[in-house]
Amino acid sequence: MSAVTVVLEWQFSPPDYFEESITISRKDYVMVIDSGHVKATIASAVYDADPSMRTSLHEALNDRMHGVQLLNHRPFELSKPTVIRLHPDGRRDISIELTGVQATASCGVVDVQVSDKDGNVLSDSKRDRIEKKKTLAELVSMYRAGDVLLTSLLKSYDAGVRDPDNELVHLYEIRESLSAHFGGEASARAALSVGLSNWSRLGQLCNSEPLRQGRHRGKSVGVLRDATEGELAEARGIVRGMIEAYLRHKSGKRSGP
Q: Are 10 and 77 in contact (CB under 8 A)?
A: no
| pLDDT (0 to 100) of residue 27 | 92
3-state secondary structure of 236: helix
CA angle (126, 127, 133) in 5-degree steps: 90
Q: What single-letter amino acid sits at 213?
A: Q
HSE-up of residue 25 (Cα within 13 Å, Cβ side)? 0
Q: Is the peptide bond before 88 cis (omega within 30 degrees of 0)?
A: no
Quick check: 105 pLDDT over 60?
no
Higher pLDDT, 218 or 6: 6
| pLDDT (0 to 100) of residue 223 | 83
- Range in 3-7, 200-204, 229-233 the model is least confident about: 3-7
Q: What is the DSSP string of 89-111?
A: TS-EEEE----------------
| pLDDT (0 to 100) of residue 253 | 62
Q: What CA–CA distance (Å, rounded) separates 24 from 30? A: 6
What confidence tier does 25 reach under pLDDT thresholds 50, 70, 90? very high
Q: What CA–CA distance (Å, rounded) separates 178 from 189? A: 9
CA dihedral (208, 212, 215, 217) positive or negative: positive
The residue among 36, 72, 58 whose CA lies nearest residue 144 is 58
The residue among 79, 59, 80, 243 whose CA lies nearest residue 154 is 243
Digit-coded pLDDT (tens) for 234-245: 999 999 999 999
Output b/e per residue, 131-140; b: 16+ Cβ within 10 A. Answer: eebbebbbbb
Q: What CA–CA distance (Å, rounded) separates 253 from 249? A: 6
Mean pLDDT across the stretch 67-88? 93
Alpha helical stretches, state H, 108-147: 125-143
What confidence tier does 118 reach under pLDDT thresholds 50, 70, 90? low
Q: How many CB atoms lie within 10 A of CB 223?
A: 6
Quick check: 18 pLDDT over 50?
yes
Mean pLDDT across the stretch 170-181? 98
Q: Are 88 and 82 in contact (CB under 8 A)?
A: no
